[in-house]
Amino acid sequence: MRLWGVMGLILGGSVEASLNRKTRPNIIYMLMDDMGWGDLGVNGNLHRETPNIDELARSGVVFTDFYSAAPLCSPSRASLLTGRLPVRNGFYTDNAKMRNGYTPQNIVGGIADEEILLSELLQKSGYRTGLVGKWHLGHREQYLPLKHGFDYWFGAPNCHFGPYDDKHTPNIPVFENEDMIGRYYEEIPIDRNRGRSNFTNNLRDKAFEFIQKSVDDQQPFFLFFTPDSSHAPVYSSLAFAGQSRRGKIGEAIMELDWTVGNIMELVKSLGIIEETIIVFSSDNGGACVGPVEQCGSNGPLLCCKQTTFDGGMRVPGILSWPGTVEPNQVNNDVSGLMDLFTTGLHLAGVPVPEDRIIDGKNLLDLVKLKNHRKPRDSTTGTHFFYRGDTLGAVRHGDYKMHVYTWSGATTSSQWHFCRGQNVPNVTTEAQTDHSMAPVIYNIGQDPSEKLPLPVKSAEYQQQRPIIEKIIAEHQKSLVLGKPQLNYCDDSVMHWAPPGCEKLGKCLPIPPSNYAKCYWDH
């Protein structure tokens, strides 16, 4: 019997069986902000500024074809935590077509109570759950992290991008749990001209405390670590000044890499490395508006953040779990951030909700586990590229079909999200419907989306009906969530966040001016 058991494992026993061998692992998801696919040394960044992240990659799996569910922060993060596309979970707007809605501080909406978050399920199953860093799923009281499954939170509800003084709009508050502890550019200094702040160090210290306390309490933990220093205006602490040939963005990335290294060291020194799975990624591709030294690198990929091209949505993807997941793996399957929902549930032994469509899958089914055979490469993975309410493209296996393209904003050619790149009929400055003559790429051969397949080619003719059928089925089954990003109101801004009284930081709340938000792009 014992022999058969061993044979079963070797010949391909289920993942569940192997997971049952140990207690439920700790889960650390590290999600960077606007860090591009090409910002990692392991993905070929010319400057090789990420030795620690590269080491994390070697210790486990690099997912080369790892996608976010949206080309910008809020919907991408909502999709990670719900395992569902933004059009399902409500993190989109239909005020206008194909608009990149998010959660600025005048947004009225946020993550709906009907949505089930990974944090909620893990908390319920006995995990200690912590968010250290940016939230971005809504900032009105009912939307904050502690209402959505997190036991602990240190960080800000929005990005540190604007405003920069409290005169017209309040600066963004930083919270510890229920109460604000200060505001960016005030108690939390960021020198955005020099690109300097110690805030990433603060986040690291809080992550350390959270991990340490969970280990002390012998409770499995879920840490969602979301620093945002690689989002413009990028910053790092003084120790990284002048360290990068590419300027401030490189310095920010070097500090984030150092921080990842610190967390890896802590996990090792606490002796929990084999009981801890670490995933590293970014919420969307590198941006390409504003000064170059504020912009991440998308390597060979086309265009940037805000777009449905690969530069907007293909992001770093690393998973490490020493002792369980074999090291030095590269995985080319179509995968992405929504998979982290389903993967997290599997790790915790929590059933995946069955009352709704979940887009994510279990990443551990794709990779080689110790004492297991390597799974077959999947060549049939599918990813839907939405920008707001509009499906721009679908990737299926090695092919990507664009049905609707837009590279810019409505009002200004300065906001062109393919800066320096131009593929005729593809990087279109106006919204362009291609559904009658889709643009198809063989992404396997042409990852840069430079060479649309000729319409008359056999490859095009073969792929078009396959992907059109996938789209038709997707659209038939699609139940749109109620759009959360349609309404804005200055009175919901951070005039008087919880805890402001204690600090003497409350500002007078102006009258409501509830109205549809204007989204330019």
Residues at the interface with a copy of itself (CB under 8 A): 38, 41-48, 62, 64-65, 245-247, 292-293, 297-300, 330, 332, 398, 419-424, 442, 444-448, 450-451
DSSP assignment of 143-181 equals: GSGGGTT-SEEEE-SS-S-S--STTTSPPPEEEETTEEE
Given the residues 73, 159, 303, 517, the one annotated as active site? 73
Q: 483: which DSSP letter? A: P
Is residue 284 a contact point for Ca ion (CB under 5 A)? yes
Structure tokens at 181: 């502890």
Residue 44 binds which one of Ca ion, a copy of itself, none, with CB within 5 to 8 A depending on kind?
a copy of itself
- What are the residue ranges of helices labelled H in 154-301? 199-216, 248-269
Residue 73 binding result from a copy of itself, Ca ion, none, given CB thresholds of 5 to 8 Å by partner type? Ca ion
Q: How far apart are CA 385 and CA 375, in angstroms?
A: 26
Give me the least distance between CB of 194 and a copy of itself, in Å please: 17
247 binds, among a copy of itself, Ca ion, none (CB under 5 to 8 A by kind): a copy of itself
Instruction: Provide the minimum distance between the beta carbon of 59 and Ca ion in the complex, in angstroms, as a whole number.
Output: 26
Q: In this structure, how many other beta carbons lie within 10 angstroms of the beta carbon of residue 203?
A: 23
- Binding track, positions 69-108, relative to Ca ion; x by CB under 5 A: ----x-----------------------------------
Angstrom distance (rounded) from CA 102 to CA 72? 8
Say which of 136, 139, 148, 434 is annotated catalytic.
Answer: 136
Q: Between 131 and 439, name the residue whose CB sits nearer to Ca ion.
A: 131
Residue with token string 């993967």: 343
Residues 439, 425: Cα–Cα separation, whole Å: 9
Is 136 catalytic? The answer is yes
Residue 330, contacted partner among a copy of itself, Ca ion, none, CB below 5-8 A by kind? a copy of itself
CB of 145 to a copy of itself, least distance (A): 35
The count of residues interacting with Ca ion (CB under 5 A) is 5
C-alpha 75/C-alpha 501 separation (Å) is: 32
Site membership for Ca ion, residue 307 (CB under 5 A): no
Quick one: what does residue 34 bind among Ca ion, a copy of itself, none, with the CB cut-off 5 to 8 Å set by partner type?
Ca ion
- Taking the least distance from each CB to a copy of itself, the nearer of 44 and 126 is 44
With CB cut-offs between 5 and 8 Å by kind, which of Ca ion, a copy of itself, none does residue 126 bind?
A: none
Place of tokens 């989306």: 449
- Residue 73 designated active-site: yes
Least distance (Å) between residue 418 CB and a copy of itself? 10
Task: Report if residue 257 touches Ca ion, rule: CB under 5 A.
Answer: no
256 contributes a contact to Ca ion by CB under 5 A:
no
Pairwise CA distance, residues 299 & 264, whole Å: 26
Q: Which stretch binds Ca ion (CB under 5 A): 183-191, 212-220, 275-283, 360-368?
A: 275-283
How many Å apart are CA 118 and CA 281, to the nearest integer? 17
Greatest Cα pair distance, the chain, in angstroms, is 74
CB of 437 to a copy of itself, least distance (A): 18
Backbone angles phi, psi at 239, to 5 degrees: -60, -20
Q: Which of a copy of itself, Ca ion, none interacts with 62 (beta carbon under 5 to 8 A by kind)?
A: a copy of itself
Measure the N-to-C terminal CA separation of the chain; round to a whole number of Å.
Answer: 63
Structural contact between residues 244 and 292, judged by C-beta atoms closer than 8 angstroms: no
Q: Which residues contact 199 (CB under 8 A, 6 or more apart)?
A: 160, 188, 190, 227, 229, 235
Distance between CA atoms of residues 203 and 214, nearest Å: 17
- Counting contacts by CB under 5 A, is residue 43 touching Ca ion? no
Work out which of 9, 27, 34, 336 binds Ca ion, going by CB under 5 A: 34
Binding site for Ca ion (CB under 5 A): 33-34, 73, 283-284
Q: What residues are labeled active site?
A: 73, 136
